[in-house]
Structure 1
């Protein structure tokens, strides 16, 4: 017997609470989609950027202090978040493996509760154990699951959609969460997505979980966004590109998939978005490749950027000059990437109002807004983002107004 798909909620009913929100990579995508979104972010510098961008932010900074029934967020229908998970990023290490197993074990204790009292007792035990751990981030990754259970048991109104994202090493945690979320009423799945597949001018992989409330059909498939652009592979040529003077004149950064010509667009290269630089240049990474500090990673301007990190300002940029034989060789050193340029490579709008002194870290930690746009459209079952929506994200500018930190999702009469 086949089950009918759980009917999608109307766009107007989607209200997002974004845990560990950062400078707004997901929230700015939600904003251009016309969705209400409020972020929880503890870092003062990052909160300053959010204020400058006019993004809603809760008065409280700590995800652990708030709950799903807090007045500021109690009417949210969508939960998103990227909890810090560096504990698992020590690939293959005993410490990383233990942290992974600890989270899976503790997460299992938080589900299968039919009443609020038993859940709160379980959470109290779990919190006591995580408080004694050497790395407090092990406990933070459990917070989204706490919010999910509190929405169901405390406010008696489960989130319609849950979206979680982090580095690829966290995929085993998300896969375990998928099993747990199915037990409490969600159709869910998790995969690793490549940012350049969606037009982001950067190679960056993210482990993404999507869960949709559907207690009658938890085993149904969950659709993830389909690639619109060519994936970057070393040694593989870029697909042919087409000149589009109108797009160039408008200063638009991203392009949708071509209809009827190719399954995907060529990857978006650095030279496509860094218009103020010479056409041909090379970026030499601050990091060594293959464990050799002298073997720096290199990308030419015809390629997407390597993953943008908080050390992006240490990357060096060199002019590429064509010789008489047609080869390109390294020329003079150019100015290093600016914060605006690093933001563009993350797919933030050109005029995003970065603030404070740790901007590079804010940019490096953020999820690319264009990737967020595709994920949200898919998770909310709204279909792929339209050309107009993608262009709207690229052309976004701040309104120079500060957002209120009072109750955001007000009750309707």
Structure 2
């Protein structure tokens, strides 16, 4: 396969006149995969060449470039971005998202201040950039901190009708790790304060979702924000309703903390159904039945255990362990280090098995290097379907049809893009 450094999926985008969704920091395509099953088409901006290799193999339209550079040169990408009405993305996790230290809290406070300033006065962008660069140069800040402001900069560009945009995004969907929730709260305030054409405003909701409550066979927590453009009569958006039960972590499960308190009481309207959470063993078995056993999806016994590679404090005896009738631990970039025991199959998950635990189709064409990192950084497509359906007002029947069809990925002839 040709390297993404010289031949990127951006060529695919030229075949389509209009895209529905612009996905910032698109990675290998978790949200884009979800969009396609819902009948929407996304074009993603991604800098990492390895993720672009995967996107090329999967036929996902891509601009292989830095998100900031594309924004600064919007006219160069006008043909591909014209007509986009939905903004999605998850800017990379910053130091403040890892919590704890005083510097992390200071970074968080700074970012919240920048968000407020930028929304109130878009012309302050250059001044903010200079401050961020000064902090990074003096080691008082993280050079990536500016990236968490990128979605807001794109939102402001669209609201100002900068070419190729003709007006504000109609829908905004953002996601990140749970500790970024205060940033999304700051975004909510900023969006509500924006002066938009025709007296319209953004109606927003944010919160932390547990992926196993949406049929993802792993415990993973994501902070999400949904914003909808409307008038005074527009109904406030809601987070997707839960379709599965939360996994109750056993005492010996040391890998992950309990869900953080979002200060919102659960009500009947937030729960659609109470199916049991999906065990990782069942998810892998379903993938093998759909696609057949192979080296990518090897045969495994009905019962096995998985020992985590982290959360141990350096002591292997304290590493968390899950059984095949439980959801997997959070799939991270180090998923290839997890040890599978009591099984006839290999002692490590294959990259396709890891993808299945993220709810990618079993035959999704992972390509390039650092594939474990690609998988770990991705948004679970199944969660993406729930998020987009809630944000776009897609009904239960159409959403479920998408969920029930996302087990295989159609082959792509990458030669068509040469």
Give yes or no for TM over 0.5: yes
Equivalent of residue 389 in structure 1, options 379, 402, 405: 402
Do structure 1's residue 20 and structure 2's residue 21 form an aligned pair? no
Do structure 1's residue 108 and structure 2's residue 92 form an aligned pair? no
Equivalent of residue 95 in structure 1, options 89, 97, 103: 103
Q: Give deviations 1:248-297, integer Å, cap 9, x for gaps.
A: xxxxxxxxxxxxxx932111111112222111000000113478654101
Do structure 1's residue 82 and structure 2's residue 90 form an aligned pair? yes
3-state SS of paired residue (1:207)? strand
Q: Which moved more, 1:360-369 or 1:131-140?
A: 131-140
Q: Which moved more, 1:131-140 or 1:393-402?
A: 393-402
Equivalent of residue 129 in structure 1, options 116, 119, 131: 131
Equivalent of residue 29 in structure 1, options 27, 34, 43: 34
2:279 corresponds to:
269
State the distance in 1 between where 2:377 and 2:402 align.
24
3-state SS of paired residue (2:84)? coil
Compare the two structures and name the one with the higher helix fraction: 2
1:14–1:78 contact (8 Å) kept in structure 2 = no
Equivalent of residue 330 in structure 2, options 307, 326, 330: 307
1:349–1:397 contact (8 Å) kept in structure 2 = no
Are the structure 2 counterparts of residues 404 and 378 from structure 1 closer, same or farther at C-alpha, using a change threshold of 3 Å?
farther
State the distance in 1 between where 2:27 and 2:126 align.
27
2:202 corresponds to:
186
Gaps of 5+ in 1: 1-11, 114-118, 237-261, 321-331, 406-413
Structure of higher RCO (CA pairs closer than 8 Å, 6+ residues apart): 1
**1:400 Cα deviation after fit:** 2.8
State the distance in 1 between where 2:308 and 2:211 align.
19
State how 1:129-278 maps to structure 2 within 5 Å: 129-134=131-136, 135-155=142-162, 156-184=166-194, 185-216=201-232, 220-235=235-250, 263-275=273-285, 276-278=299-301
1:344–1:350 contact (8 Å) kept in structure 2 = yes
Are the structure 2 counterparts of residues 403 and 383 from structure 1 closer, same or farther at C-alpha, using a change threshold of 3 Å?
farther
Q: Which moved more, 1:332-341 or 1:103-112?
A: 332-341
State the distance in 2 between where 1:122 and 1:374 align.
36
Q: Aligned pair count? A: 350
**1:129 Cα deviation after fit:** 1.4
Are the structure 2 counterparts of residues 163 and 369 from structure 1 closer, same or farther at C-alpha, using a change threshold of 3 Å?
same
1:65 corresponds to:
69
State the distance in 2 between where 1:78 and 1:315 align.
37
Do structure 1's residue 316 and structure 2's residue 339 form an aligned pair? yes
